[in-house]
Amino acid sequence: MGDRVTESFKPYEPSDEGGYGYEYEYDDRPPGGRVLWGRIAILGGALVLAFFLGRWLAPGGDGDADQLAELRAQVEELEETNAELESQLDEQAATETPAPTPTESPAGEGEADAAATYTVKRGDTLRLIAQDLCGDPESADLIMELNGITDPTQLSVGDTLTLPEECS
């Protein structure tokens, strides 16, 4: 590792012999960057023009806004009508269905103790019925057992339930 010898190389320079010499002069080239941005600006302008021309020539034009306003007014009217009908339905349900009371089967049909029954109304659940009629929501299990109900969520309006003796 003693002496290092380094050779110096002469840089390559093309010769003019044979006609293969190159001239590297960039001053004669046209400005390419300006042309590119000019083309992009023209394309953008054409797109904006096409957009506004399409909006202007589209069928319906400003009539769509009028139609939309008219439809929104109809929706508001229908929502008001729906609210009125729901309030009438609630009022009718309140006057037709007083507080739930158990009804008893007619006595003297061969049963010594007549069983009380209840007809299920809208919004009733077994636990609510047990609370209102029996005073204890845990009586719902007795009502289910007495009526052969396996799924308490399948209770339907108009079903007649037989109530246990504790509820009468």
pLDDT (tens digit per residue) in 134-152: 888 888 888 888 888 888 8
Percent of the chain at pLDDT exceeding 90: 16
Structural domain spans, the chain: 32-96, 114-167
Comparing 68-72, 101-105, 125-129, the range with the smallest average pLDDT is 101-105
Alpha helices per DSSP H over the chain: 32-57, 63-96, 126-129, 140-147
- Residue of 1, 151, 122, 135 lying closest to 163 (CA atoms): 135
pLDDT (tens digit per residue) in 46-77: 999 999 898 888 766 556 677 888 999 999 99
Superfamily of segment(s) 114-167: LysM domain (3.10.350.10)
Q: Is the pLDDT of residue 5 over 80?
A: no
